[in-house]
Structure 1
Amino acid sequence: MNKKSLSRRDFLRMSAFTTAGALLAGCVPASPTGAGGAEAPAQTQTLNFWMWNTFAPPADELMQEKINEWGAANGVTIEISRDADSNMQTKIMPAIEAGTLPDAMFVGGGVALQMMDAQSLDPLTDLFAEIGDAHDGWQPRLDTFVTRDGAVHFLPYSIDTPMVQFRQDILEEAGLTVPEGQWTWDQTRDLCLQASQYTEQQGNKLFGWGFGVVKLTHDGWCTDLFRNFGADLWDETGQKIILADEKMEEATRALNFAKEAWDAGLFPPDAPAYDYAANNKAYLEKQAILVINAASIYVQASQDDPELAEATGLAPKPKDVRDTTDAGLRYTLVMSQSSNNKETAMDLIRHLYSSDVYAPWLELGFVANVLKEYDSLPMWTGKRAAFNLAAQIGTYGGYPAPYDNAAIAELTGSPDAPVGSMIVRVLIDGWDPERAILEADEFSKRVFAKYF
């Protein structure tokens, strides 16, 4: 594999991000007065900042307000561009080629990595350490995930992790005790099976699990099952496939567990046809007792069906020999290499982690905190406690390696992704676990051989 860094133009060509043309950007200058109505300092410079509209509009409005307040209080005109979250890549990548990136911006973790590879970001290594020290440290595993070749180019801002979302009302009606915190996989199986049987007795059967049985799963239930059963595909270097050679026993146990749940009738009959929206539909239309997905399901229920939202419980994904859950960086903060106002941009970034900004922003959003100082916020009680717990046990792309790489990305993004393929082979095609594991191991080694 060619390990040489890509030029901006080469990266853009390879990534196929060739969308050009005018991009709408609403510039929002800072208020002419400082906080509390005081006269603002004389304007000395302008800072360009990009942010995105999320599924929590009140949090977006608060963030823009806080940024403008800081600008007014510090004599800086902040020109804010807000765009739809879905336009992130198509807006940023042409700006890299044109040299028109803002001084700083929020950006998703995956796009931050693309920008880093395109050599468009300034390192923030010292600032990462400074902010961590000022706020009791970063959540576990974040330091190793963001440090690449000894440098940090993107600062975590929010953690997004799929959650277990379940019908707490039905479990309680069935006389079942709902576990606190993170469930085990055994509890997830047994409680949902009993609850499903209860609904059938009541004349309105709900399926226990709204999980798909497809090769490339959206909700990732089977990858979490494998990881927490200890059935790793690659080793801690992220460069060697160890599935059949070292993890045959763990993978066999995971597949047998899934097959037993399938035979018990926990899955919906259309599980082999599940697409990216199927588990949302299964839960929101009250067809399944438990699903795994982003908290957007709970948010949508809160808006469209408050009664269902009230009946919903939340928990991190289930545990077994490990208690991890997969997590991603919903938003990071980055600074453009071409910025002419780097010191001012870093001052703004520091401020965005202050309790005056970060705590109320978390309160209005549906994400988890990246800094340990905010573990003690009163908001992390009741249902929302699950978000903070997930942040503390989250793993990031590439686990058990410190972070992912091109080989892992190709393997896990393949239409024949190995974990989903093993599940399909055993549950649908009737293969025995060893045969499915050997096939997945061979496929995985072929992919990795292209890189290592």
Structure 2
Amino acid sequence: MIKRRLVVATAAAVTMLIPLSGCSAGGGLGAQSPAPTRTSSVDPAVEKAAKDFKGTFTYWTGLTFPDEGNKIEQQQIEQWGKDLGIDVEVVAVNQNDTSKRVAAALQSGSMPDALTVGYDLSKVMAAKDQLAPLDDSYKAIGEKHQGWFEPIDKATTDPSWGGSVYGIPLGFFGNILFQRQDLLKAKGITDAPKTWDEFADDAAKITNAPKVYGAGLALSNVLDGNLMTAVMQSFGGRVADDAGQKCTIDSPETVKFLDWVSGLYKKGVIPPDSVTWDGAGDNNAYLSGAAGFIVNTGSVYLSMADQDPELEKKSAYGTLPSGPAMTVNPVDIRYRVVPSSTDENGKILAQDLFKVLAEDDYNSEYMAKATYGPVLKSQASYPIFTDTPAYAALLTIAQSGGTPPAFPDVANTAYSEYQNTFSTPHMIQRVVTDGLSSQKAAAEAQVNCQKIYDKYTK
């Protein structure tokens, strides 16, 4: 028996905008062929694990937009369970809530057999011995699919993980600058902004509040809000020193960044409700015509192509602007992981599932309806990455590297916890909502940051 359960904690606005039965060019999910059965033979060890496994195999997927990709993934996992004769439960979790869900499950002893998590959470879990190593599966999947893209491989095998691989990359969130070309041209702007100051100027010129806000930047406690850490770093601000031990947020560069972003907010260039947006806030703002610029992954492009082709024609796509100090465009990898609490049969089954979910016949369909950039070199030839401008930008990021996770900071567990607690968005909120000066907000963030780093400094 296959059990289905959809958990979407904060995505009500998205389901209103992007129907669960969203249509594709081929007529929607209902017109798709069933999930393919596995093409490779089942390893005897997997067959034995399936026979001996007790109960229901539970997988927490990471909710992505539009919803059609979630359904394709769920269908494939269910087909895998059917092929092996085991009960499967697929739980789709809003990725902005994964950290909270994991914390609660760890405390109650109710972790799933496998799940999808982001780079930062996986690093924290690995450091606490909460994940099983997956070195052999990582190597086998890479060898079968022409290898991992170099930036993905470097981030996944970095020594800061402790000497093992703890996750199988399934894709990455790359940052694409979506821009309303029609609004910009009407103001005589023909070139994409090369710096964040140019971005601010262009966004101010096309602002016509409350109808249109030029800069649809999330300043809330969601994954999109963590982009602000990268912008801060491009201004020269740092979370910590080069040793990755002492926080350095309280700096003139951070204050300059806070003055910049709070200035845009106070001038009405950034929407006033951006401090409370959920994970779909910037998506909805752009798709409804209320934002001139946003930074997002490919999901907005898919929604436009499906629901509003005219808006897609009015849009252009680019890379993140540079700050006064440097360009920072982080590659935020999503991993399939196995909790260390999963029993041995479950661990064998999970790794078999990960291999099935890496197959090209499945991924070419899934990635065309999901929001991720490619991680395996065999994926470079998928039509979604060769034929669509927004996703071609993601392929370029995978090939050229963008910037590694945390860069220019040290990608350690303390940094990951800093990001998981949405520390930079909170610092911004203290200025734009609570009225603190940029100097006081930076000083307060410094104290809170050091408390995090002290937990991991020996």
Scaled by the length of structure 2, what TM-score is found?
0.68
| Corresponding position of 1:232 | 238
The aligned counterpart of 1:11 is none
Secondary structure of 1:313's counterpart equals: strand
Please name the residue that 2:65 is paired with. 55
Specify the alignment match of 1:6 in structure 2: none
Q: Distance in 1 between matches of 2:108 and 2:426?
A: 37
Give the C-alpha shift of residue 255 in structure 1: 4.1
Structure 1 match to 2:333: 329
Which residue does 2:162 correspond to in 1? Answer: 149
SS in 2 for 1:368: coil
Distance (whole Å) between structure 1 residues aligned to residue 233 and residue 203 of structure 2:
21
The separation in 1 between residues aligned to 2:339 and 2:263, in whole angstroms, is: 50
- Using the alignment, how far apart are the partners of 2:348 and 2:43 within structure 1? 18
User: What amino acid does structure 1 have at the position aligned with 2:392?
Assistant: A
Counterpart pick for 1:126 among 129, 136, 140: 136
Give SS of 1:81's match: strand
User: In the alignment, is residue 292 of structure 1 matched against residue 295 of structure 2?
Assistant: yes
Which secondary structure does the structure 2 equivalent of 1:166 belong to? strand
Q: Is 1:404 aligned to 2:413, yes or no?
A: yes
Deviation at 1:390, TM superposition (A): 4.5
Q: Could you tell me how far 1:226 is from its partner in structure 2?
A: 0.9
The size of the alignment, in residue pairs, is 406
Q: Provide closer, same or farther for how the CA distance between residues 288 and 217 of structure 1 changes in structure 2, counting only shifts above 3 A.
A: same
**Partner of residue 365, structure 2:** 360
Task: Tell me which residue corresponds to 2:355.
Answer: 350
Counterpart of 2:316 in structure 1 is 313
In structure 2, the partner of 1:10 is: none
Provide the C-alpha distance between the structure 2 equivalents of 1:55 and 1:91, rounded to a whole number of angstroms: 21
Shift of 1:84: 2.9
CA distance in 2, matches of 1:266, 1:233: 28
**Match status 1:421 vs 2:430:** no
Q: 1:185 aligns with which of 179, 196, 217?
A: 196
Which residue does the alignment assign to 2:394? 387
Q: 1:426: how far off?
A: 8.5
Contact residue 124 and residue 155 of structure 1 kept, 8 A: yes
CA displacement 1:34-84 (0-9 Å, x = unmatched): 679x99999954274635364344434544565677788xx7435432223
Give the letter aligned to residue 270 of structure 1: P
User: Aligned equivalents of 1:233 and 1:39: distance in 2?
Assistant: 48
Percent identity between the two aligned chains:
21
Give the aligned residue type for 1:188: F
TM-score by length of structure 1 reads 0.69
Give yes or no for the alignment of 1:136 onto 2:147.
yes
Alignment deviations for residues 190-216 of structure 1 (CA, whole Å, 9 cap, x no partner): 3323434xx69xxx9633213366799
Secondary structure of 2:177's match?
Answer: strand
Residues in 2 aligned to 1:40 and 1:269: alpha-carbon distance in whole angstroms: 53
How far, CA to CA, are the matches of 1:401 and 1:41 in structure 2? 40
Report 1:363-374 matches (<5 A). Answer: 363-374=368-379
Cα 1:255–1:79 change in 2 (3 A) is same
> In 2, distance between residues paired with 1:64 and 1:97?
25
SS at match of 2:89: strand
Cα pair distance change 1:420/1:190, threshold 3 Å: same
Q: What whole-Å deviation, never above 9, does each CA across 1:403-452 have from its counterpart, x for those lacking one?
A: 332x76258727xx456536854998584x65654454345345544654
| Residue 265 (structure 2) pairs with residue 250 (structure 1) | no
Aligned-partner Cα distance in 2 for 1:85–1:297: 19
3-state DSSP of counterpart to 1:369: coil
C-alpha distance in 2, partners of 1:51/1:413? 21
Partner of 1:17: none
CA contact (8 A) 1:236 1:402 kept: no
Distance 1:224 1:213, change over 3 A: same
- 1:222 maps to 2:225: no
Q: Is the 8 A contact 2:131 2:337 kept in 1?
A: no
Counterpart AA for 1:292? V
Matches within 5 A, 1:73-112: 76-77=84-85, 79-86=87-94, 101-102=112-113, 105-109=114-118, 112=122
CA distance in 1, matches of 2:130, 2:314: 46
**TM-superposition CA deviations, 1:103-147 (whole Å, max 9, x none):** xx4422366557656756431123324434553334414225696
Q: Distance in 2 between matches of 1:216 and 1:51?
A: 19
Q: 2:15 corresponds to which residue?
A: none
One-letter amino acid of the counterpart of residue 187, structure 1: E
How big is the shift at 1:165? 2.8
1:267 to 266, 269, 284: 269
Cα offset, 1:242, TM superposition: 2.5
Q: Does 1:25 align with 2:32?
A: no
Q: Secondary structure at the match of 1:325?
A: coil
SS of corresponding position for 2:316: strand
The residue identity in structure 2 corresponding to 1:84 is: A
TM-fit CA distance, 1:290: 1.4
1:176 paired to 2:189 = yes
Structure 1 stretch 317-326 or stretch 106-115: which is displaced more? 106-115
Partner amino acid, structure 1, of 2:203: C
Counting only pairs closer than 5 Å after superposition, residues 428-439 of structure 1 correspond to structure 2 as 429=435, 431=437, 437-439=442-444
Q: 1:44 to 1:429 in 2, by over 3 A?
A: closer
**Counterpart secondary structure, 2:411:** coil
Aligned CA distance change for structure 1 residues 90 and 70 (closer, same or farther; 3 Å): closer
Gaps of 5+ in 1: 1-23
Contact kept, 8 Å, 2:123 with 2:412, in 1: the verdict is no
Q: Structure 2: which 5+ residue stretches go unaligned?
A: 6-33
AA aligned opposite 1:122: A
Residues 368-395 of structure 1, C-alpha deviations (whole Å, 9 max, x = no match): 1222443454422412223334543154
Corresponding residue SS for 2:85: strand
Offset at residue 234 of structure 1 (A): 0.5
Give the aligned partner of residue 20 of structure 1: none
